[in-house]
Amino acid sequence: MKNILKNEYDIQQMRISGKITANVLEMIEPYIVPNASTEDIDKICYYYITQVKQAIPACLGYKNFPKSICISINDVVCHGIPNKKLLLKNGDIVNIDVSVIKNNYYTDASKMFFVGSVSKKNKLLCKIAKKSLYLSLKCIKNKKKINTIGKIIQQYVEKKNFSVVKEYCGHGIGKNFHEFPHILHFYNQNDYIIMQTGMIFTIEPMVNEKAPFVHCMEDGWTVKTKDGGLSAQYEHTILVTKHGCEIITHQKNEKIPKILFNT
Ligand code: MF3
Ligand code: CO
């Protein structure tokens, strides 16, 4: 197996990078309002990442992605491209996905925002997506099986009568955007990989209101639900520790603690 374990120096650098990613998601909140253009939101993030934090937006230019962040609204599952003609409107649910590089270390996180007043039904979808991520964090610890993550997420989401997108998964992350191992958000009994202290990976479940099926638009990026149902996603970069995990991209307003001690 490739060496996928981080040393103390790597971990310190990932904490620095992760704090910047978290700060972007905290900073952007007041700008998520009706009539805001997604291009303006992207520009604010670009300025903050490059000028305030002296970091690099990892999405910009990645496989020719044209913007600094992904903004995915309502039935857009992921990889929505900011655009000056694309405005937020009252009632939208919006995922903002931020990846930064600081001192050559990548971190990745996303969360949902509500534009104006959002329906109870749509808030519930977001709540279930967030809780599926949080529940999975409680099973992370040195020596546990990685496929427990997907098992927990899928069981919880399907019990709530929502569905899990199967086409996109979490990933190891460090000096590269995407590293080994793959983190599926559904159960795979053939995945025997074991978590180890010093592994860092993302968990980023995409949860659909209706069917799990998705398709990619002509722009080559924007992924939407096939049936037009809404989709929600939360993502964190996670460090596996001896006794649990550390949320590398933890944000101030989160109810879950940054460091988890798991059984
Ligand atoms: N944040 C996404 C991930 O988890 C990256 C999207 S690639 C982009 O891999 F180019 F669209 F940004
Ligand atoms: Co990711």
| Site to substitute for ligand 1 among 65, 95, 100, 203, most atoms within 8 A of C-beta | 65
Q: What's the confidence (pLDDT) of residue 2?
A: 61
Q: Are 114 and 88 in contact (CB under 8 A)?
A: no
Q: How far is CA 60 from CA 44, 100, 106, 240, in A?
A: 14, 10, 13, 28
Q: Are strands 179-183 and 170-172 parallel, antiparallel or unpaired?
A: antiparallel
Q: Which residue has its alpha carbon closest to ligand 1 atom 10?
A: 59
Annotated ligand binding at 254? The verdict is no
Q: 227 labelled as ligand-binding?
A: no
Predicted pLDDT at 3: 74
Which residues lie at CB < 5 A from ion ligand 2? 108, 202
List, chain by chain if needed, residues with CB within 6 Å of any ligand 1 atom.
59, 62, 65, 70, 79, 97, 99, 108, 202, 204, 221
Fold of 2-261: Creatine Amidinohydrolase (3.90.230)
CA angle 60–203–160, rounded 5-degree value = 120
108 known member of a binding site: yes
Could you tell me the residue ranges of all domains in the chain? 2-261
Is 182 annotated as a binding-site member?
no
Strands (E) across 115-178 are located at 163-164, 170-172
* Pocket perturbation via mutation, ligand 1, pick of 38, 60, 63, 108 by most ligand atoms within 8 A of CB: 108
Please name the residue whose Cα sits nearest to atom 5 of ligand 1. Answer: 59
**Sheet of 163-164, strands arranged across:** 163-164, 206-208, 231-233
- The full length of the chain comes to 263
How far is the centre of ligand 1, averaged over its atoms, from the C-alpha of 192 (Å)?
26
Distance between CA atoms of residues 209 and 195, nearest Å = 31
Nearest to 178 by CA among 162, 200, 158: 200
User: Could you report the average pLDDT of every consecutive run of 10 residues in the chain (263 residues)?
Assistant: 86 99 98 98 99 98 98 98 98 99 98 98 98 98 98 98 98 98 97 97 98 98 98 99 98 98 96
